[in-house]
Structure 1
Amino acid sequence: MEQNIKRIDATFSVSGQLAPSDLQALPALGFRSVVCNRPDHEGGPEQPEHGAMQQAAEALGLNFAYLPVQTTGATAEQAQQLRELLAELPKPVLAFCRTGNRSSKLYEAATQGTREVRQFDVVVVGGGSAGLSVTASLLKRDASLRIAVIEPNTEHYYQPAWTLVGGGAYDVRDTVRPTGEVMPKGAQWVKASLCAFAPQRKVVLLSDGTELGYQQLIVCPGLQLAWEKIEGLEETLGKHGVTSNYRHDLAPYTWELVRSLRGGKALFTQPGMPIKCAGAPQKAMYLSCDYWRKQGVLASVSVEFNLAGAALFGVPTFVPPLMKYVEAYKAQLAFQSNLVKVDGPNKTAWFDVTGADGQVTRVEKRFDMLHVVPPQQAPDVIRRSELADKAGWFETDPATLQHPRYPEIFAAGDVCGTTNAKTAAAARKQVVVVADNLIALRHGRALPKRYDGYGSCPLTVEKGKVILAEFGYGGKLLPTFPMDPTVPRQSAWFLKATLLPWFYWQGMLKGREWFTDCKPD
């Protein structure tokens, strides 16, 4: 229930359609009032009438109001009615409709003119790799720009090294720095969360109740790890042999498990696409197997890689060299096998396996070590906004990275609804495209840059060797160096483990744009 609620500010939140049973959780979440904005009989028979909702709410001590809004949008009279309700109802208030969008827009209309609005030339949503890099690149082009970076977290992470941490090849302490230290000089850090977009007014709404106005907006909040979609997982992460390199605090536990395992069953998982760094799930397996082989215990460890998809890697060119390592490590591949449930104390996992006939079977598997990669999705604030595409990702032109309906809005990084690999290397090239195109837009010129879908996945097939997979849209190979990219190389390991982390902190986050030219067809 809680994950379906979107907080607009300290006093008002929205959600999609609620059932009477959903209301039971609201008092514990602090809500005191409920507003129904969905007209009765709009949906099918599963939609409860507002009378039933009111009865259930009042039985729980919640105040209830019915203010139906049609799908065509709220009227000025309805905005005034909500203003009056907000003056009367005990707070916090939760409003709902079919998806939450009508409730959000009604609240925007009702509170317009009552919020503090701070104006900037450019607002950047997200202080991750893409957000800080595009900010630095913009300030290099025009140091006079007034740029706000919305980022609630006080720590900034170099996530590509977490796989190395899980393989015992990198110190986790070197993957984190205070956000204040890496914030580009000249930008204003707004330490708050984004609650909603109001693109018609060119403002964004923040968790502290303020609004930021912009001339241009860059959306790069990354993606959301949906741990909760795997039953029982959240309760057992970091114990009972269950780990993941997709979290800073868990990557060291991966290495602890790898070092201590002398035999038994090791399961590695990969959910359905898209995910952050599609090669990372199998990289965890390769580094673990390499360690067990060098310790002489690999023969005692039964290794299995469960993939929700039907292919080992999305670019066919790299499958044969990867299969050589799968075979050398004697790892079993279980295709179309999706992790759905975990019981850590009993060391049991369940997978939904799709057969050749399309039938899905629930399969139980025991484990001694389980490395989990969670399902991934766009952040809630994106998925529930009008800026999202049908899959919930930020809708953007795949070449210009500009929103098709709001030309003053761009995106970069994992949130983009484009078909490129979601990697830091992709963001490195995207931010240059966005920076050049945004500056051109500000000066009334045609957008000069096109993104070719470049992404890079350094596949750590053993400690000391990497297959450097670089490719763009459609799986087109885009190697940076004139060498066979399918060959595992020590030089690529040096690039992955030493040069790229240094370049990230000292180059990319400081607006240095080496090797960033895109080459569209």
Structure 2
Amino acid sequence: MLPSSSTRLLAASRLHALTTSRIRGLATVSAANPAHSYKVVVIGGGSAGMAVTAQLALDALFRKGTRKDILMIDPSDVHYYQPLWTFVGAGLKQMKESERPMGQLVPKQAEWLKDRVSRIDPAANIVTTGSNRQIKYEYLVVAPGIKLDFEKIPGLVESLGKDGVTSNYAVQSVEKTSEFLKAFKGGNAIFTQPATPIKCAGAPQKIAYLAEELFRTRGLRPQTNVRFHTGMGKIFAIDKYAAPLTEICASRNIAVHLFSNLIALRPDAKQAVFRDVSPTASAGKETIVDYDFIHVTPPMSAPPFIRQSGLGNADGWVDVDKETTQHVKYPNVYALGDASSLPTSKTAAAAAAESAVTTHNLLRAIKNGTGPAAAYGGYTSCPLITGKGKLILAEFSGYTGKPQETFFYDQSKESALSYALTANIIPSLYWEGQVKGLWKGPGVVRRITNPFDS
């Protein structure tokens, strides 16, 4: 699952432990510089915003002088590498492996303002925060992540983390997933994916595969129905990977229900209500399914301040050129990551590739460069865990739909190597590379590891 700065539901005990036990080395939270004005303001400290902040800080332009001219705005004390949450929810990794104090990651050339953004005035180049602070900028990078709309499913907010209702997308319930799976005794185990765009689109089904494997290991499979309900019309967007995933579901008796969108929970009766969203005569029909365990992926949307600030397209995403990541109306505004309009899957891998393009083009504009602009081609990746030690490593362009695989073997087949890379190597690349501005995706590596396909 794709990391982002939008997941804010922090358990008080975890937050206290992180911020007190690791206080040494934390960056000082900014009060904004005396002029309340910065060369670059970055909204969001998730995988996209942190990568751009770090890459800017490495440039000579921002390493000179004493004034810190980069401001990153994010309200969270903790930065999460959310792709690990599937492993955490399945009991394969610990939550602490997915988190770092935000202050330890902010580069010394930048300041961090611990606040939320409430409004942007792109005509006046002003960002207003939740504490009513006004910050002026010359250039703006918008990467606030995606909004998780748990409240749009009646019955979900009050039941999340209770009586078998969980979600690996929420920090306060991801460990409950493992707890509930271990306590499961049989019955209906349901996994959902909404009809809206979401971050890490493979995550809703990854936990289904791991749960089904756990049920088999514990001898519960004969008395368990595993159901995957998705509001989408395909199990995965890219056919090369959809075909083996469909075969896996058939061979393991995982019932796949396409165009089946969760619209409500009835926690007192332990029932889930689904609506048919297919383009057929049955559209609108509702079906009620009893559940003993249910993993819910909530609908998602762009943060409201984007549309309210006049930066959004018709669907609310920051409206940018899909190649340059530059705003279509305001040339000093760039956007990347989950809140952008870039038409590709919203993943941490996409954020890495996007960050290189955004930073290059932003620095080019700041320095009045004359060289060519960098172009993003839609690269993204979705590691699809199908069991302990087994993984399909989907890599492709969301623009063309064509695979862009880093390695020489067929990544659409279940692989122990792909699993090891995802579980152990890629997290290290993230912590030691991406959030430090050093890892910008596998494009250069691919020329060596898969030269003929490149």
TM-score interval for Structure 1 and Structure 2 normalised by the shorter chain = 0.7 to 0.9
| Equivalence for 2:12 | none
Give the structure 1 partner of residue 333 of structure 2.
Answer: 409
Residue 390 of structure 1: CA displacement? Answer: 0.5
What is the CA-CA distance between 1:462 and the residue it aligns to?
A: 0.7
* Aligned sequence identity (%): 37
Larger-Rg structure: 1
Equivalent of 2:323, from 378, 399, 423?
399
SS state at 1:513 partner: coil
SS of residue in 2 equivalent to 1:455: strand
Partner of 1:82: none
Query: In structure 2, how many angstroms separate the alpha carbons of the residues matched to 1:433 and 1:201?
Result: 25
Distance 2:441 2:46 in 1: 20
Candidates 468, 472, 482, aligned match of 2:408: 482
Between the aligned partners of 1:141 and 1:517, the Cα distance in structure 2 is 21
CA deviations over 1:36-69 (Å, ceiling 9, x no partner): xxxxxxxxxxxxxxxxxxxxxxxxxxxxxxxxxx
* Partner in structure 2 of residue 460 of structure 1: 385
1:382: how far off? 1.1
Match of 1:496 in 2: 422
Code of the aligned partner of 1:445: G
**What SS does structure 2 have at the residue aligned with 1:160?**
helix
Structure 1 gaps, min length 5:
1-115
How far residue 162 of structure 1 moved from its aligned partner, in angstroms, is 0.5
AA aligned opposite 2:173? L
Q: Is the 8 A contact 2:380 2:396 kept in 1?
A: yes
Match 1:451 to one of 376, 379, 384: 376
C-alpha contact 1:184 1:509 (8 A) present in aligned 2: no
Q: Secondary structure at the match of 2:244?
A: helix
Deviation track 1:254-309 (CA, whole Å, cap 9, x = no partner) reads 11111121310011100013100110000010110111122222122101111111
Contact 1:138 1:435 in 2 (8 A): yes
Give, in whole Å, the separation in 1 of the partners of 2:441 and 2:131: 39
Q: Unaligned stretches of 5+ in structure 2?
A: 1-33, 447-453
Matched AA of 1:458: P
CA distance in 2 between partners of 1:412 and 1:442 (Å): 18
The SS at the match of 2:285 is strand
The letter for the 1-side match of 2:428 is W
Distance 2:409 2:332 in 1: 40
Q: Tell me the distance in 1 between the aligned counterparts of 2:309 and 2:246.
A: 41
Partner Cα distance (2:134, 2:327) in 1: 21
Counterpart secondary structure, 2:384: strand
User: Partner residue of 1:197?
Assistant: 120
The question of whether the paired residues in 2 share the 8 Å contact of 1:413 and 1:422 is answered with yes
C-alpha offsets along residues 187-229 of structure 1, whole Å, 9 cap, x if unaligned? 1001111111111111111222221111111000000000011
User: Equivalent residue of 1:389, what SS?
Assistant: coil
Distance 1:247 1:295 in 2: 27
**Corresponding position: 1:252 with 2:175:** yes
Which amino acid letter does the alignment assign opposite residue 439 of structure 1?
A: L
Q: Is the 8 A contact 1:132 1:509 kept in 2?
A: yes
Report the TM-score, using the length of structure 1 for normalisation. 0.75
What's the offset of the Cα at 1:418?
1.7
- Cα distance between partner residues in 2 of 1:117 and 1:151: 20
Deviation at 1:328, TM superposition (A): 2.3
SS in structure 2 opposite 1:304?
Answer: strand
> What is the aligned counterpart of 1:179 among 90, 102, 127?
102
Contact 1:241 1:344 in 2 (8 A): no
Compute the displacement of 1:450 (Å): 0.5
Structure 1 271/432 Cα, relative in aligned 2: closer, same or farther at 3 Å?
A: same
Aligned partner letter, 2:93: Y
- Asked if the contact 1:240–1:345 (Cα under 8 Å) also holds between the matched residues in 2, the reply is no
2:57 aligns with one of 139, 160, 163: 139
The one-letter amino acid paired with 1:398 is K
Aligned residue runs from structure 1 range 347-386, under 5 A:
347-354=270-277, 356-386=280-310
* Alpha-carbon distance in structure 2 between the residues aligned to 1:453 and 1:514: 13
Whole-angstrom CA distance in 2 between matches of 1:514 and 1:454? 11
AA aligned opposite 1:171? Q
- The residue type paired with residue 492 of structure 1 is S
Residue 412 of structure 1: how far off its partner (Å) = 1.3
| Alignment-derived partner of residue 469 in structure 1 | 394
Give the AA of the match of 1:495: L
Q: Deviations over 1:1-46 (max 9, x none)?
A: xxxxxxxxxxxxxxxxxxxxxxxxxxxxxxxxxxxxxxxxxxxxxx
Q: Which runs of 4+ in 1 moved over 4 A?
A: none
Partner SS state of residue 480, structure 1: coil
1:385 positional shift:
2.1
Provide the TM-score with structure 2 as the length reference: 0.86
Q: 1:165 aligns with which of 84, 88, 112?
A: 88
**1:94-243 equivalence runs, <5 A:** 118-142=36-60, 143-144=63-64, 146-243=69-166
Give the aligned residue type for 1:226.
D
State the alpha-carbon separation in 2 of the partners of residues 127 and 153 from structure 1.
Answer: 8
2 CA distance for matches of 1:240 and 1:474? 43
Q: Distance in 2 between matches of 1:410 and 1:297?
A: 51
Once residues 236 and 419 of structure 2 are traced to their aligned partners in structure 1, the CA distance between those partners, rounded to angstroms, is 19
In 1, distance between residues paired with 2:78 and 2:38?
24
SS in 1 for 2:400: helix
Shift of the alpha carbon at 1:516?
A: 4.6
Q: CA deviation at 1:515?
A: 4.0
Tell me how far apart the structure 1 counterparts of residues 441 and 193 of structure 2 sit (CA, whole Å).
30
How many residues of Structure 1 are paired with residues of Structure 2 in the alignment?
A: 405
Distance 1:278 1:476 in 2: 17
Equivalent position amino acid for 1:400 in 2: T
